[in-house]
Structure 1
């Protein structure tokens, strides 16, 4: 008896879980959530307006990377100036500040905002009245879902009257018609944007920066056969595979032995030493921290030693090992990768395209990325190691998928909490209150959002185990993988949790009624399809609140609340080091893959619900319009592109978008088949065929023009052009393993404690003066100059046009990294700066061989201007970037003075305020020679 009662109670819970949605709960939940989001959004905008004007470091960190002569007197930002600029900015402005990747991303956001708006407005004006007038609002009962029709029995949700769920007869064809129109409109807009992106990418390939960069005419060879062990053998294999292309230089990668491990250990020790020094200096040398050595951490009775002394000793030992490893002349083992350079960019692209079709068995060929874009730890992996790593990554993804179902189930339970009213008198009494509506309306989206906050970082860690060799490949995989993961967990699995419970009820009913197997399977299939469509309709109110929450998160990102709270806590409550503050105040790199995936999920909700519940699509369109404003501001003022790819993610995003358009039609066909019959559902199939045909057109016609450089006209002479000098040293400089010349980290010490640090640590340190302070407050001689031009017309400038500067995009990332590296050589000479350049008059980025080559807008190299020019001319010819001492540590020499320097043309050349210092024997660097510059010391008074 008791067992039967328990079974009946469990069955009632499952049934009510399927159809638990009341008029009061749905309308109240959505209304309360909208009110809360509106109040929170207004408060967030007020915080943004109040803080933005006085905190340039947080809300316009890019301005810290621009020299004062570019800023002029425009140092204030008005609270409302950014709004006007967001509407006035053109593509060229974003291109100059952030690059092609940012412009392509904004094109995607603009495409979706226009597409969703175009299909939402007519659908809301036509389909919502059609749906709402079909069933009278006075009807208090709507047919309940059964195994055949999927209609609901006691669903008092007025929001469902604006959906397709209760429409039948001729009115249903209005949804089918608008499904056709929506598909055609989206495909047309995608084609228009695709053509625009192709033009942008071809302009990127043809730009002076890309044409003058060495990596752009270099191929990266991977999975090289073990039989190829020399450069000559690799060149021979390339020419045997295809003799059409003449290579300027071919080099095979060499093993670095234990050098990567040593550098990683060195960096960890520096961070630990930095924290120990900071703690001691803040206590005015009164509190020296003690630690247990790492080798004895597992011993309870391990001896505790002075942390600073221990880390100093470990640091010196590691530095000696690194110097020894870098200076070894013994031949190392060849690796399974290499690089080959060609005469120009067009030939390099043609060769890469040709080799991708040939697919030679001894190696794989692709265009070389920027040297900083290579993941060297994965590049050196063998095929067996990469295969094992991929299986491990798949296992981690499966585990993450299972763990992510826990918060989703919790969110589904809270969203359908009234299903438990039959077994809980408390819930039965509480379900009619406002607090119950607030709980079931606000908490589920928050649970889902909280679970998704940590997903991107976990996915990013897992993707490294797949053995991807470049950051570009990593982002391509992450975009698709993260989008699929979000759709499966946040959209499909969450929507179909109750369907699984309904399936259990159907199986139990079939067993109890002793149905035949074939009849039971047919009923279960029909019932499951009906439950799926009914569940999507019931969740329309949930997705409205979820979309509104996504919109608030955009405002949250605009106001930089998270970073603002971090800075306040670290300033007044939590301990921090200068490096912590600098890392948080510097411009943040923009994660395009994460933004694309999250916006694609928002697109999935808007498109799939377009023919089912157009109001949801209208909400999505509004959030995309807000996203366009917010991301435009963030990409212009706050974020930068860490590794420019020319919008490479576009083709992957378009494929995901076309998949969503096809899914929209499939869901509509499923609904028509259940509400009418499956023969009529075939009328929804032609748009799917349109999408497939358009996808094939994009793949075979548009994508080749997108991926490869295809200039309009090119002469035979230019195609046959061969560089006049050897590329051997340039290829080694650009694509030699960075562990050979990677800079050694140095502890950062607070500027006010620089006079005390010598009592604790005698090694080289960096003053926080050059890392944590706003660069605008530092003298001009300590700035890292960038190429920047500002209109001098006072009538065309306002407070927010300060950032309208032409910044070298690939140098911005270097500038950010260099802000903490280019100061001091030692603790006693903090004002010396060292800059590096190629000594043999061969520009690092272009083919110029002139001795006094001056950097121009088409080149990002650094060769000093002629010292014989006057001061004003020399200042105007200053190169647009100074490469820091990534691989050099000069001897401490502060004895130079301006009067003691030789004249121009002798051993030391004065260039404006910098002096050329020939390489010394004590210079620790890779075997290639380089020019080095340091500022002139201040003459004694």
Structure 2
């Protein structure tokens, strides 16, 4: 790929900024329309129990862009985020805060110190000279081999490494303190009193439920409360989801005056049949769904098949904590226990997979993941290759004249490869989530956490290593011949792809946030539903924040930032724009669009911390290789101590903070148990626990209708 000039990069940036501004302007208009409130204000409406937003009368302000949503999102405090969306959402926002602090400091030093050091060597500081220069002039590539100026880069590597340690430590400490406060102040949740038991041994005399009851009555006689069996059939899920969807429609329709309920036809696709009040229509439809589900329940009770798993509830948190952290028998592969996920977080389909075969399934899934990652090298490499100006001229000779236009050639050469790769990766998160579903994780949150890891590894491998090396086989040959050359190979490859990753940040990063806030897929589906099918959606359907999509993308750009912070500091301003826009966009989405379906209490953070530390480690390896490529072996040797220092830092943080995220301390558990005992709240908690983990196919259908929309209602409603 030909070298990109600074003027070409600025042109690409201007186009992306223009698209971003247009999308934000459209969003500010669309969200004011009452017909779009269920899309853009879904979570807020759901929390406010049907409050209407947006004026129904004509007003010119409703069709003009405004910045009100920006101000509202910016003013949102940490405590408000906690109250509105929980600790998991706050952890996600705190990642952006870390990026502001770390990359903000790096940007100031990088732009005002490293860029001049890289550029000002027999160069004239003239604006015309700068805009016509290639980007390589501003990277470490422009520094002469063996130059003493590399000492500046060496000092910067050490400085930002220690800055990363300090900020990561403070962030871990802050989030750990938030989690402790959350555990102290949280209302009683079913998962605090319940454990999940798997790998129950088979018995010819007793059913699994009888075995569980006998086992815990025998070994935990003072704290054992009850057990709930798990069954193999999960066909009930779609039926229950439909009942809950229609119930929400009924709920919101009942809040509207009759004159605002648009009559609709009750025939095929709303195109035929007689018109009737939608409330009556949905009430009759709900009753029909309930009757069908009750018939299914009757058949289910007759043929239900228990599986070797159960939820066991205890009278105290202390009893649950002891049982969850204790090996129950001398055989570690039997009676495996862990704290149960909250009812809204339970992955019922995964529980039907027998525990004894999970390790085999996970090995198979790991092999499939590796194969998919390698197979993606082919279309990704093809997209990257086809995106070059020279190859397009070869493939489409009739377009040579158009491609020869400087502006067109610059955009195609810089923008097209990153655009093709961004499109190619759209399906990756859903594909990885589908793979992870087979691994049998008992909670939706754990499934998403594991999916985040797969997607991040996939994106790093494909977006970074594939593009950096061009040929995996060529890389392997060089590594096999001389493993010591790995840092130098990394540094050489990374330096040669600065142009691509700058455009990648703008294309996938900036444009990705524009798509996130505009929600074009949901918008056009809603438009089709209203205008073509002539139906109206009365109830908002707030989604949960898709961590398995959002987190890996954010961590990928953090990884890119660490890789290029020394080699190409000119990339840092583009990343800062990415972090700033993402910070505003997701604060707005958390406030208005996303409603959590589960709460882990910040358990995402240790996994995020691990991947950021990995990025720091890779930055140091590439720094060592960079000094080797530049024939400064002394600086390479002096940089090596950073690697064990990073590993020691990671180990210390894991020992110091990670246990806080894995289990509740006995001190907190006992103190909360004693407090509830004094207040006489135990019996109320026990009554709620009897229904909390009852298998959904056996629950009274009216009970499902009354569930809290967040799916993690506390055991004591209104209790602080």
| Change beyond 3 A, Cα 1:380–1:48 | closer
Does residue 247 (structure 1) correspond to residue 117 (structure 2)? The answer is no
| Change beyond 3 A, Cα 1:264–1:567 | closer
1:364-443 pair list within 5 angstroms: 364-383=336-355, 385-387=357-359, 389-418=361-390, 433-443=406-416
Q: 1:124: Cα distance to partner? A: 1.7
Q: 1:632: Cα distance to partner? A: 0.8
Q: 1:672: Cα distance to partner? A: 0.9
Does residue 622 (structure 1) correspond to residue 577 (structure 2)? The answer is yes
Matched with 2:22 is 43
Q: 1:480: Cα distance to partner? A: 1.1
Higher relative contact order (CA 8 A, sep 6+): 2
Q: 1:540: Cα distance to partner? A: 1.0
Query: Is the contact between residue 730 and residue 844 of structure 1 (CA under 8 Å) also seen in structure 2?
Result: no
1:408-557 pair list within 5 angstroms: 408-418=380-390, 433-497=406-470, 532-549=490-507, 550-557=509-516
Does residue 345 (structure 1) correspond to residue 313 (structure 2)? The answer is no
- Which of these residues, 582, 604, 607, is aligned with residue 559 of structure 2? 604
1:492-891 pair list within 5 angstroms: 492-497=465-470, 532-549=490-507, 550-573=509-532, 575=533, 581=537, 585-678=540-633, 680-710=635-665, 730-741=688-699, 743=701, 811-814=708-711, 845-846=715-716, 855-858=717-720
- Give the alignment's TM-score, normalised by structure 1: 0.63
Quote the Cα distance in structure 2 between the aligned partners of 1:532 and 1:27: 24
Matched with 1:5 is none
Query: Is the contact between residue 127 and residue 614 of structure 1 (CA under 8 Å) also seen in structure 2?
Result: yes
| Change beyond 3 A, Cα 1:435–1:640 | same
Q: 1:739: Cα distance to partner? A: 1.5
Does residue 158 (structure 1) correspond to residue 134 (structure 2)? The answer is yes
Q: 1:538: Cα distance to partner? A: 2.4
Q: 1:81: Cα distance to partner? A: 2.8
Quote the Cα distance in structure 2 between the aligned partners of 1:715 and 1:465: 37
Matched with 1:121 is 108
SS at match of 2:601: coil
Q: 1:352: Cα distance to partner? A: 3.0
Matched with 1:60 is 41
> How many pairs were matched up?
670
Quote the Cα distance in structure 1 between the aligned partners of 2:298 and 2:332: 39
Matched with 1:283 is 272
Does residue 31 (structure 1) correspond to residue 10 (structure 2)? The answer is yes
Quote the Cα distance in structure 2 between the aligned partners of 1:252 and 1:559: 43
| Change beyond 3 A, Cα 1:73–1:239 | same
| Change beyond 3 A, Cα 1:745–1:736 | closer
Query: Is the contact between residue 371 and residue 735 of structure 1 (CA under 8 Å) also seen in structure 2?
Result: yes
Quote the Cα distance in structure 2 between the aligned partners of 1:340 and 1:61: 35
Q: 1:71: Cα distance to partner? A: 8.4
Q: 1:347: Cα distance to partner? A: 4.9
| Change beyond 3 A, Cα 1:590–1:285 | same
Matched with 1:220 is 196
Quote the Cα distance in structure 2 between the aligned partners of 1:503 and 1:715: 56
| Change beyond 3 A, Cα 1:226–1:577 | farther
Query: Is the contact between residue 44 and residue 591 of structure 2 (CA under 8 Å) also seen in structure 1?
Result: no
SS at match of 2:23: helix
Quote the Cα distance in structure 1 between the aligned partners of 2:69 and 2:289: 47
Query: Is the contact between residue 499 and residue 531 of structure 1 (CA under 8 Å) also seen in structure 2?
Result: no
When the two chains are superposed, the root-mean-square deviation of aligned CA atoms in Å is 4.4
Query: Is the contact between residue 409 and residue 494 of structure 1 (CA under 8 Å) also seen in structure 2?
Result: yes
Query: Is the contact between residue 404 and residue 451 of structure 1 (CA under 8 Å) also seen in structure 2?
Result: no
Quote the Cα distance in structure 1 between the aligned partners of 2:514 and 2:396: 40
| Change beyond 3 A, Cα 1:254–1:373 | closer
- Give the alignment's TM-score, normalised by structure 2: 0.81
Instruction: Report which stretch shifted further, 174-183 or 528-537.
Output: 528-537
| Change beyond 3 A, Cα 1:664–1:246 | farther
Q: 1:182: Cα distance to partner? A: 0.5
| Change beyond 3 A, Cα 1:501–1:744 | farther
| Change beyond 3 A, Cα 1:358–1:232 | same
Matched with 2:260 is none
| Change beyond 3 A, Cα 1:266–1:239 | closer
| Change beyond 3 A, Cα 1:127–1:426 | farther
Matched with 2:84 is 97
| Change beyond 3 A, Cα 1:102–1:423 | closer
Query: Is the contact between residue 21 and residue 157 of structure 1 (CA under 8 Å) also seen in structure 2?
Result: no
SS at match of 2:195: strand
Query: Is the contact between residue 198 and residue 706 of structure 1 (CA under 8 Å) also seen in structure 2?
Result: yes
Quote the Cα distance in structure 2 between the aligned partners of 1:72 and 1:21: 52
Q: 1:661: Cα distance to partner? A: 0.4
- Between Structure 1 and Structure 2, the one with more helix by share is 2
Q: 1:195: Cα distance to partner? A: 1.2
Query: Is the contact between residue 266 and residue 318 of structure 1 (CA under 8 Å) also seen in structure 2?
Result: no
Matched with 2:129 is none
Q: 1:419: Cα distance to partner? A: 6.9
Does residue 177 (structure 1) correspond to residue 155 (structure 2)? The answer is yes
Q: 1:614: Cα distance to partner? A: 0.8
Instruction: Report which stretch shifted further, 162-171 or 531-540.
Output: 531-540
| Change beyond 3 A, Cα 1:285–1:255 | same
- Which of these residues, 75, 81, 96, is aligned with residue 88 of structure 1? 75
SS at match of 1:226: coil
1:120-139 pair list within 5 angstroms: 120-134=107-121, 136=123
Quote the Cα distance in structure 1 between the aligned partners of 2:604 and 2:631: 41
Quote the Cα distance in structure 1 between the aligned partners of 2:115 and 2:563: 16
Quote the Cα distance in structure 2 between the aligned partners of 1:264 and 1:559: 28
Question: Which string of whole-angstrom CA distances, capped at 9 and with x for unpartnered residues, describes residues 859-900 of structure 1?
Answer: xxxxxxxxxxxxxxxxxxxxxxxxxxxxxxxxxxxxxxxxxx
Quote the Cα distance in structure 2 between the aligned partners of 1:744 and 1:393: 39
Q: 1:725: Cα distance to partner? A: 5.8
Does residue 192 (structure 1) correspond to residue 170 (structure 2)? The answer is yes
SS at match of 2:17: helix
Quote the Cα distance in structure 1 between the aligned partners of 2:682 and 2:25: 61
Q: 1:346: Cα distance to partner? A: 4.8
Query: Is the contact between residue 202 and residue 208 of structure 2 (CA under 8 Å) also seen in structure 1?
Result: no
Q: 1:701: Cα distance to partner? A: 1.4
| Change beyond 3 A, Cα 1:225–1:622 | same
Quote the Cα distance in structure 2 between the aligned partners of 1:285 and 1:371: 41
Matched with 1:836 is none
| Change beyond 3 A, Cα 1:72–1:393 | closer
Quote the Cα distance in structure 1 between the aligned partners of 2:293 and 2:670: 52
